[in-house]
Amino acid sequence: MARPGSGKASREPGTVVAAYGRRYRVELQDGEELDCVTRSKKTDVACGDAVGAARTGDGVGVIEAVEPRRTLFYRSDARRQKLIAANVTQVIIVVAAEPPYSEELVDRCLVAAEHAGIGGLIAFNKIDLPRAGGTAAALELYRRLGYRVAELCAKRDLAPLRVHLGGHTSVLVGQSGMGKSTIINGLLPQAAARVAEISAALGTGRHTTTHAELYHLDAHSHIIDSPGLQEFGLHHLTQADAAQAFLEFRPWLGQCRFRDCTHTVEPDCAITAAAVKGEIAARRLASYRRLVGELQRKRPAWDRT
């Protein structure tokens, strides 16, 4: 290996274990960590990426290459894409009765996971709160669709979630205040993740996680904590992608009168008919249609040719 200042440094394999804007912490194979930047203004690096890093000084380096990803979980709006985690095998969406969670945000996280070929799990936290019964009833829809729902009180017992973590690289996502940091603290007390009190005035949690960070649960199990979400754009999807990612739509896709049916206003739409019969939940169809409306209104600037 070349020493700093002795010429071009050799590239070492590692994993991005924290992403802070344009700075990244890379864990090398021997456990050493480097504080890294990328060449020029390249920012398409995500927590969980396998990379090649070259040392540029004591404890610092530069990411020279990003290895091909197995999966990538990300969101996008009309201006840019926001990478959340790479090479994950499941997305864990954390919800709670308080503060109120967004069903549409849950739907979009699941759509992004489906599109990326990543498994989805809903972690229903704070089941000890008075409003938990109503939340549990609302989440039955996802169970009927085949999604796993783990019910837990993160402050007391994480066993219902732990059983789903072995052998996986998971990413925790959700709105602020749902208890993601509490889950990380419970799984890994040494992580010392900050936990914020819920703001009663705003009815929403304060952001405590400001960057994505990967933690090792054991040699074969890892978990990535991510900043709280308030919205989840999916501008990188087409209308057809969105329809395919709603699991309950799949039996009826291709059965509409029009081959290019968007399942919004067209006559003789098989998806609409299924919803009328109660075979597709009306709120899920409404969630899909809001998403398609966004996709139709504006094509992402970063995707224009």
Q: d(Cα 101, Cα 97) in Å, to the nearest integer? A: 7
Tell me what the pLDDT averaged over the chain comes to: 90
At 169, list the tokens.
């690289």
Cα–Cα distances in angstroms (integers) from residue 285 to residues 51, 188, 207, 256, 278, in the given order: 40, 39, 31, 15, 11
Rg, Å, the chain Cα set: 21
Per-residue pLDDT at 144? 97
Torsion of CA 256, 146, 137, 128, to 10 degrees: -150
Confidence of residue 189 (pLDDT cuts 50, 70, 90): confident
284: left (phi over 0), alpha (psi -120 to 50) or beta: alpha
Identify the structural domains of the chain with CATH numbers, from first to last. Answer: 11-66 (2.40.50.140), 72-225 (3.40.50), 239-303 (1.10.40.50)
CB atoms within 10 A of CB 299: 11
For residue 6, pLDDT beyond 60: no
Question: If you average pLDDT over residues 286-290, what whole number do you get?
Answer: 98
Q: d(Cα 48, Cα 85) in Å, to the nearest integer? A: 6
Question: If you average pLDDT over residues 93-108, what whole number do you get?
Answer: 95
More confident residue, 73 or 190: 73
**Longest Cα separation, the chain:** 72
Spatial neighbors of 94 by CB under 8 A, at least 6 apart, are: 123, 125, 172, 173, 174, 178, 179, 180, 183
Per-residue pLDDT at 208? 56
Is residue 278 a contact partner of residue 253, using CB atoms and an 8 Å limit?
A: no
Torsions phi, psi for 169 (to 5 deg): -105, 105
For residue 266, pLDDT beyond 50: yes
Where do we find the tokens 């759509």?
111
Task: State the DSSP code for 249.
Answer: G
For residue 87, pLDDT beyond 80: yes
* Count of CA atoms in the C-beta half-sphere (13 A) of 232: 24
Per-residue pLDDT at 21? 82
Output 69-72 pairs: Cβ under 8 A, ≥24 positions apart: 71/116, 71/117, 71/118, 72/46, 72/116
Name the least confident of 203-207, 216-220, 279-283.
203-207
Per-residue pLDDT at 5? 42
Per-residue pLDDT at 299? 58
Is residue 268 a contact partner of residue 210, using CB atoms and an 8 Å limit?
A: no
Angle subtended by helix axes 103-116 and 132-145, to nearest 10: 30
For residue 288, pLDDT beyond 90: yes
Which residues is 145 bridged to in the sheet? Answer: none
Q: d(Cα 106, Cα 256) in Å, to the nearest integer? A: 27
Q: d(Cα 12, Cα 51) in Å, to the nearest integer? A: 8
